Amino acid sequence: MLTAKLNRARIAHLPTPIEPMDRLSAHLGGPRLLVKRDDETGLATGGNKARKLEFLVGQALADNADVLVTGGAPQSNHARQTAAAAARFGLGAVLVLRGQKPATCTGNLLLNMLLGAEIRWAGERDLDQSIDQAADELRHAGRRPAVVPYGGSNMLGAAGYVAAMEELVEQQAHSKLAIDVIVFASSSGGTQAGLMVGAKQCGFAGRVLGISVDKPAGALATRVATLANETAGFLELPWAFAPADIDVNDHYLGGGYAVIGEAEREAINLFARIEGLLLDPVYTGRAAAGLIDLVRRGDLAGETVLFWHTGGTAGLFGFGEQVLTRW
Ligand SMILES: Cc1ncc(COP(=O)(O)O)c(C=O)c1O
């Protein structure tokens, strides 16, 4: 195992299943479609952060931390899973969230409160600085904070997706699958960076196609390549990546981060009605909208395509009726 030397807190329900999406495939008249169910990783309704947090929390425990500090958008899935991991291991959780406290407490925010997290509102202040400031204040108060970066995307977090690619390659071998393309939502880059390092090391020959949720392709590819290089170095693997090696599609940015448009709404409703699968409005809904469009354009014809469902289900409840096509 590539990550055997790292401190690891066993949190996630692994391996996550791979399931066929034959009805969606038939509906779209498209290629063979599969889904990898990282929405079922556990940790307060699942998602990709559970894999990252295994290593982030593993290190925090090894460092004798007593509180996890992280941040994100008000409906951050990462913040919610970090709060759940903290509760699970008897640590405190301080979440620094962008903007002002909203009038209602829904979706991930509601779960954060139930999970016992302390929420601090960053207003218009820079999020990274606000996270560091919160950690400083905790230190001054005699606490031992571990800062978990935005999105859980550093080398430790990305290691979770190196291990995930190992898991996928093993599943492929057992089930005699031959996956040509993996499609998923990419934002802070840790998921894609880990998958890239894992793919290189495990000899996965297919495409690893990140659908950008919030960044131009160039910026995201640069970020993923940098993080993949750091992660490879950290794991003592010989691989190096340039931005040109990173497969990113930024055609589905729509109205911007967390703005639900027709494409996301259609994808969310289609996956729900045809496959009984719940997507989230910000990440997997957008990535699925990209997948549907690529299928309709014929760009994935003849391929076996794995949609890596990275979770976010709780976020659905933070957007209310905006996700509906009828009411
Ligand atoms: C549900 C979901 N999918 C995908 C992502 C993107 O993963 P990454 O930040 O590792 O690129 C996130 C990040 O917050 C997420 O919450």
What confidence tens digit (pLDDT) does each residue in 88-129 have?
999 999 999 999 999 999 999 999 999 999 999 999 999 999
| Total domains, the chain | 2
Would you say residue 1 lies in a domain? Answer: no
Q: What are 93's strand-pairing partners?
A: 68
**If you measure from the C-alpha of residue 92 to the centroid of ligand 1, how many angstroms do you get, rounded to a whole number?**
23
Q: What are 29's strand-pairing partners?
A: none
CA-proximal residue: ligand 1, atom 3 (nearest): 310
Same domain, 39 and 84: no
Would you say residue 254 lies in a domain? Answer: yes
Which amino acid type is present at position 191? T
| Mutation probe of ligand 1 site: the residue of 150, 191, 222 with most atoms within 8 A of C-beta | 191
List all residues whose CB is within 6 A of at least one atom of ligand 1: 47-48, 77-78, 151, 153, 185-192, 280, 283-284, 310-312
- Report the nearest atom of ligand 1 relative to the CA of 157: 10
Mean pLDDT by 10 residues, the chain (327 residues): 91 98 97 98 97 98 98 97 98 97 97 98 94 98 97 97 98 95 98 98 97 98 98 97 98 96 98 98 98 98 98 94 92
Same domain, 170 and 25: yes
How far is residue 26's CA from residue 32's CA, in Å, rounded to a whole number?
9
Q: Which of 88, 122, 152 is the last residue of a domain?
A: 152
Same domain, 214 and 245: yes
Q: Is 188 a catalytic residue?
A: no
Same domain, 309 and 223: yes
CA-proximal residue: ligand 1, atom 9 (nearest): 188
Domain containing residue 280: 18-47+153-323
Same domain, 212 and 312: yes
Q: What are 287's strand-pairing partners?
A: none
Same domain, 245 and 123: no
Would you tell me the crossing angle of helices 49-62 and 155-175 to the nearest 10 degrees?
130
CB of 215 closer than 8 Å to CB of 241: no
Same domain, 145 and 167: no
* Residue range 40-83, pLDDT digits in tens: 999 999 999 999 999 999 999 999 999 999 999 999 999 999 99
pTM (2 d.p.): 0.98
